[in-house]
Structure 1
Amino acid sequence: MNAAEMIEVVLPGKVEPEGLQVRRGAVPSAGPGEVVIRMEATGVSFAEQQMRRGRYYDQPPFPFVPGYDLVGTVSEAGDGVDPALVGSRVAVLLKVGGWASHVVVDAADVVPVPEGISAAEAETVVINGITAWQMLHRKARVRAGQTVLVHGANGGVGSVLVQLAQAAGAKVIGTASVRHHAALRERGVSPIDYRGEDVPARVRELAPRGVNAVFDHVGGRGIIDSWRLLAPGGTLVSYGSASTRDDEGSKQWPVLKLLGRVWLWNALPNRRRAYFFNVWAGQALNRSRFRARLRTDLTEVFEALGCGDITAHIAAELPLTGAAEAMRLAESGTVAGKVVLHA
């Protein structure tokens, strides 16, 4: 790639992965308060899979550049930005725009990546890690000796949740397809086959008094079982609606239904709590507080990665121009961890 050329991948509309378009242009410049990041690693998360179908509840209108997060090196700092940032490796949460060789962001949004962590390793725990950390510690407040149920325990968020919960001293029950059970057992997880087993019955066998927290990205009717499996004082954290990924119709309706259930459950006279987790909550009301919390929590995640409490699960690494293949692989359900793209 020419040093003065930018490459980005465009999602033009509701297309198959092969419909993604590669666009080339001039490298952007940093404005006041901004930095240019030369991307080293970005990835395919469930959000991009939903966006490709037009199913992500607040995605921008087509066409746009997807890419929920990235890790890279600051190549230029604009006016008012500490020039010492240039040359440092940072991570940033974007929602869209990460599938590009160069990205312009507000300098206040970048989080330093510690020495000794590669770009690909760090990438696996940006959106996945911050989601897992905040759900576990800010919402469910899981403590040592508790038992938690993690749906999709082999996935991007799920695998980080499993490790963070274990680092906190919790016992973990995880749902996954059978092909991932051996790996989960090696990590000390009690696996359940969500296709071939009666999940609620199996969870009750493993935790007769109920579980202290459930982390549910599936949504749909199964969210009711997740609620019923809670022990008194337990917490349900819903953070997606994977079961409706391929549905037609309104993309907001599945989320609105989840929000309605959460409101109703919390209005009932019981000792359990439910949350619908959105990593962007509070950004519009208090951006400086949002940034500070994000920086604090992602720094904790990087420290956990550095000390070995969590490990980076890289499913595959492909070039940015191979985004179509990466999307296919991420959607196949055959890999564990995160599919990473590099410039």
Structure 2
Amino acid sequence: MSINATTTALEIVLPGQVEPEGLLITHRELPAPGRGQALVRVEASGVSFAEQQMRRGKYYDQPAYPFVPGYDLVGTVEAVGPEVEAGLVGTRVAALTKIGGWSSHVLLDAADLVAVPAGLDPADAETFVVNGITAWQMLHRIARVRAGQTVLVHGANGGVGSTLVQLARLAGARVIGTASARNAERVRALGAEPVDYRGDIVAQVRALAPAGVDAVFDHVGGPGIVDSFGLLAAGGTLVAYGTAATKDDAGNSRLPVLLLVGRLLLWNALPNRRRTHFYNIWAGKRRLAKFRSQLAEDLSAVLDLAARGQLTAQVGARFPLSQAAQALATAESHSVTGKVVLVADGR
């Protein structure tokens, strides 16, 4: 494609705090890629917990309405701007976007694109973008889990949780995973020992790991974070990365996160031989070059494992982009297991 051409993009717009059916389908002319940019034809974009919270106006770093949702994407480069290698055209890539992914085409900085290995289905690859980066960095960069250790993964059948389970098993760790009773076999198939989250989690985990666990990965927050910390063995690490327990609470959406971070900092100040960390995928962006380098390195590692068949994508449902309202409603209904993915219309 000529770099002087414009492109008409179909976009899904979230106009405000509306129900899923309130999403708008619009069209917008995108200019030719500018300096350092690439035009990407989007083949798959995820429907994650972040978009669900953004719809409610409760995401921690809430974008101003109206905006195009879409936290991550996989697509093919169709054109590049000046100072971008021409050979990038035709390459399938992945990108972490936070917003903007629910579109047929997007303009992105070429430096933010990560090549997707040949042979990976776009929807399968999409499930490993934000989920894969999150799981890999928490497991390897923060908790530094080693072979022979035991870890506890809350929500082991979820998007991040199922990826964490698989990566931890590949690292040689024993995994205990919380989930509902109906998902116990699915969690077991991933390689974890299931624990019913509706029961006494502490008693169940203690029965499996009497001395405690070496790491806990907790997206729930709320009062249960105390139990997560208490289940750590000496030298263990608690990694919190969400506050799902308070998702429907009224009031300031930032307060639960701030309270959780404060509690973690307090625990770190105690002489208890256990570490805590709040994981935010965007925390390192102030040092942009390092952020991009680590993101590309970590996502490439995850996608390579998927391409070799060592990771299994958990796709719950696929919807055409133009049916984003139905896709969001399905994701929020919890009626499917696995990630809901938007794919290009006609695929």
Structure-1 separation of matches of 2:202 and 2:164: 20
Aligned counterpart, 1:151: 154
1:334 Cα deviation after fit? 2.7
Aligned residues: 339
Question: 1:127-276 residue pairs with structure 2 within 5 A?
Answer: 127-195=130-198, 197-276=199-278
Given residue 204 of structure 2, which amino acid in structure 1 is its aligned partner? R
The residue matched to 1:142 in structure 2 has which SS?
coil
Question: 1:2-81 residue pairs with structure 2 within 5 A?
Answer: 4-81=7-84
Question: 1:106-117 residue pairs with structure 2 within 5 A?
Answer: 106-117=109-120
The residue matched to 1:221 in structure 2 has which SS?
helix
Q: When the two structures are superposed, what TM-score results if normalisation uses the length of structure 1?
A: 0.97
1:282-321 alpha-carbon deviations (Å, 9 max, x no partner): 112x101110010100110011112222111111110111
1:127-161 alpha-carbon deviations (Å, 9 max, x no partner): 00000000000011111111111111000000000
CA RMSD of aligned residues (A): 1.1
1:4 Cα deviation after fit? 4.8
Which deviates further from its counterpart, 35-44 or 319-328?
319-328
Contact map agreement 1:28 1:36 (CA 8 A) in 2:
no
Structure-2 separation of matches of 1:245 and 1:57: 11
Given residue 189 of structure 1, which amino acid in structure 2 is its aligned partner? A
One of 102, 105, 108 as aligned partner of 1:102 = 105
Structure-1 separation of matches of 2:255 and 2:296: 32
Contact map agreement 2:60 2:253 (CA 8 A) in 1:
yes
Aligned counterpart, 1:277: 279
Q: Gapped runs of 5+ residues in structure 1?
A: none
Aligned counterpart, 1:319: 320
1:6 Cα deviation after fit? 1.2
One of 88, 92, 110 as aligned partner of 1:89 = 92
Given residue 232 of structure 1, which amino acid in structure 2 is its aligned partner? A
Given residue 323 of structure 1, which amino acid in structure 2 is its aligned partner? A
1:107-129 alpha-carbon deviations (Å, 9 max, x no partner): 10000001111111110000000
1:28 Cα deviation after fit? 3.7
1:80-127 alpha-carbon deviations (Å, 9 max, x no partner): 111111111000001111001111111100000011111111100000
The residue matched to 1:243 in structure 2 has which SS?
helix
1:335 Cα deviation after fit? 2.0
1:123 aligns with 2:126: yes
Structure-2 separation of matches of 1:327 and 1:193: 27
Structure-1 separation of matches of 2:190 and 2:108: 37
Contact map agreement 1:28 1:103 (CA 8 A) in 2:
no
Q: Gapped runs of 5+ residues in structure 2?
A: 1-5
1:58-88 alpha-carbon deviations (Å, 9 max, x no partner): 1211111110000000011001111111111
Which deviates further from its counterpart, 26-35 or 205-214?
26-35
1:192 Cα deviation after fit? 1.3
Contact map agreement 2:47 2:70 (CA 8 A) in 1:
yes
1:186-230 alpha-carbon deviations (Å, 9 max, x no partner): 3332111112x1011111111000011100000111111100000
Structure-2 separation of matches of 1:301 and 1:281: 20
Given residue 205 of structure 1, which amino acid in structure 2 is its aligned partner? A
Contact map agreement 1:53 1:246 (CA 8 A) in 2:
no
Contact map agreement 2:7 2:31 (CA 8 A) in 1:
no
Aligned counterpart, 2:3: none
Structure-2 separation of matches of 1:192 and 1:28: 51
Structure-2 separation of matches of 1:283 and 1:341: 27
The residue matched to 1:235 in structure 2 has which SS?
strand
1:328 Cα deviation after fit? 1.4
Contact map agreement 1:262 1:275 (CA 8 A) in 2:
yes
Question: 1:289-304 residue pairs with structure 2 within 5 A?
Answer: 289-304=290-305
Structure-1 separation of matches of 2:295 and 2:282: 10
Given residue 115 of structure 1, which amino acid in structure 2 is its aligned partner? A
Structure-2 separation of matches of 1:329 and 1:191: 25
Q: When the two structures are superposed, what TM-score results if normalisation uses the length of structure 2?
A: 0.96
Structure-2 separation of matches of 1:162 and 1:248: 32
Which deviates further from its counterpart, 131-140 or 20-29?
20-29
The residue matched to 1:282 in structure 2 has which SS?
helix
